Structure 1
């Protein structure tokens, strides 16, 4: 595979990204960009002209955020990121239904809604999944108001190889060892990027907190599925973890980081992540308390080992937050934030695409993520 080398083309793209990342924080002037980024005014002018021509940046006559006017009473020519240059779609595809979000170029959420699945009977799992993705993307596309699509992110439970566009194991769609790269390339004119659902939730907060040095945190995503959509012998509860260390999503040596198994589980039992066996949280209060207690004990252990700044809890745990709070120790309780998992997963899937667009790869980076970044940006400004 070719390397992303430190040549002039790379430097031009990197400088353009630096300008875009700065403008994502708010409007500013050419002079302020040069000062903030330490670039020569001529370099800033060159990059701004390219970005203006591509429509990624636009000019406006307004007062700078400091409120100061320029000399001779003239207002400064401000530069801002054109949030309407494209749209990004994020999808969470669960066993029984989906969730869709549409974001603009700044990452602002324009649309977020539950998506019902079409009737797809008589298909093998792979073919069914391909029909499902095509149907949902086509329907959500209508909410993008004719704007170009930068890409589509898909959040899936299970083990996903995002760089390879492959699903290693996803029981909710009965997929094992399936590579969808050729299908995506033939079917869509924009990139499709798949990722584990808990990792997508993490990406949302990484993107949102990029300027807040939110460096070490975890997201525990707890799902429950209708028994009618769960294979025989498999628990209707799915638990996943998204882990961030040093401001970077941690995937592990084989992309399996975050695959949760309770410390209380009998190793000989297959198909379950929790030792507490139950189907319905509402009908049996005592069993629900036992299940939540087991989860709380595992959260305490994980927090003790990893010492995160924040612990996000999403999914059905938010429905019982008062009960969960009583089960957590004081030091853990102070770090917990209850989150909206549906929005987090679908918005995070879209953010996963945006993050690639704004990411500056290291010189010598041979990852496919770096090349996806390069193609996304080059297609926008060249």
Structure 2
């Protein structure tokens, strides 16, 4: 009995490996799959025949029963996943196909003075409408991305929100509300962790590395979100707080429970407006004023405004300070700066100058630091990859696909 169970588990794992490899590579022959996965050609043939019977592979637009040298591609254009994300200022919904392409995307902005209960009701209505449009049976998984601090221990069914400047999120269980209206389970994950997972799947510099790690540092206006992936796995920690570098103190004058002195307070993208106000009257020729937004500061910086340049360089210095700590703690292969910061050589140069103040030059020179190359919102794409991985870990993923195609 034990041997039979092991054999069945091995068959399932092999099927999942073939599915994931075709999903990642896009197009491969049977022989290429056998070499890539170190499996017998007969094993690959049997799996592809199963996939053909299920209608989930094809060759050059035709059936998958052709010659062995022909390229195989997945045929999953009629099943989907859904990503939902909520931040302090908006919520987003997106439908993905199984290649990670967005088929539909909605975004709704709201203000802090808006009734959050009403915002959640609108989110539920929009989610239900999108599910009904694409078919509840055809959407195989849904993932909700949320900001931190977010304590998440699935094994204890524990979810606690302690989000800075967004206390309303701790008063309404958005995940439970969505599950109630959609009538199905919803995955939930910290948005920065999902961003890191998306970057991991797309980072060419660590492809094929047996042991690799990646950290994402991004700022959605207020605060900083960070996430870490090691060897393809999201780093969660005991309470799900691993990687919450935004709350890390980089100023010894920080008061317990206060924001001042934290990484996010000093280096968040909206910090530039505070820095502008500190020296506003020293730069009478600046186009900026006390009501400028952080995007207006970045725009003025790109145009050479002296005050904007000083403020942005200070953010870059603080960002480098925090990244230096991350290098010492995790020493990742790759550090990716989110699109919330200015994408200029000058900004990265200032970040690296700051890092050199805190780490040996050899360490800084060997640190791979770059901007995100993902054009869409990375935490939404990360929701797709996280959902896909979660589905692959289930015993019934192929039954779900079969049922969806028959719906």
* 1:298 shift after superposition: 1.5
Distance in 2 (CA, whole Å) between partners of 1:381 and 1:165 is 33
Superposition pairs of residues 314-333 of structure 1, within 5 angstroms: 314-318=338-342, 322-329=346-353, 331=364
The answer to whether the 8 Å contact 2:128/2:181 transfers is no
Distance in 2 (CA, whole Å) between partners of 1:170 and 1:192 is 20
- Whether 1:336 and 2:369 are equivalent positions in the alignment is yes
| Offset from partner CA, 1:80-129 (integer Å, 9 cap, x none) | 2114131222233111123444322122344556434599955xx5x556
- Whether 1:201 and 2:195 are equivalent positions in the alignment is yes
SS in 1 for 2:395: helix
SS in 2 for 1:161: strand
In structure 1, the partner of 2:361 is none
Residue 240 (structure 2) aligned to one of 248, 255, 260 = 255
Distance in 2 (CA, whole Å) between partners of 1:31 and 1:15 is 15
SS in 1 for 2:377: helix
In structure 2, the partner of 1:222 is 219
Structure 2 unaligned spans of 5+: 275-292, 298-306, 357-363
The answer to whether the 8 Å contact 2:144/2:175 transfers is no
Q: Which structure is richer in relative contact order (CA contacts within 8 A, separation 6 or more)?
A: 1
- Which structure has more helix as a fraction of its residues? 2
In structure 1, the partner of 2:51 is 51
Distance in 1 (CA, whole Å) between partners of 2:255 and 2:379 is 32
Q: CA RMSD in A?
A: 3.9
In structure 1, the partner of 2:300 is none
Shifted more, 152-161 versus 137-146: the winner is 137-146
Distance in 2 (CA, whole Å) between partners of 1:75 and 1:377 is 23
| Offset from partner CA, 1:27-85 (integer Å, 9 cap, x none) | 334455455545455544443333223332234478x9xxxxx9xxx785543211413
Q: Relative to 1, partners in 2 of residues 1:130 and 1:50: Cα closer, same or farther, differing over 3 Å?
A: farther
In structure 1, the partner of 2:333 is 309
In structure 1, the partner of 2:17 is 18
- Whether 1:380 and 2:401 are equivalent positions in the alignment is yes
Q: Relative to 1, partners in 2 of residues 1:188 and 1:51: Cα closer, same or farther, differing over 3 Å?
A: farther
* 1:253 shift after superposition: 1.9
Residue 229 (structure 2) aligned to one of 213, 237, 244 = 244
- Whether 1:161 and 2:146 are equivalent positions in the alignment is no
- The size of the alignment, in residue pairs, is 341
TM-score normalised to structure 2 length: 0.69
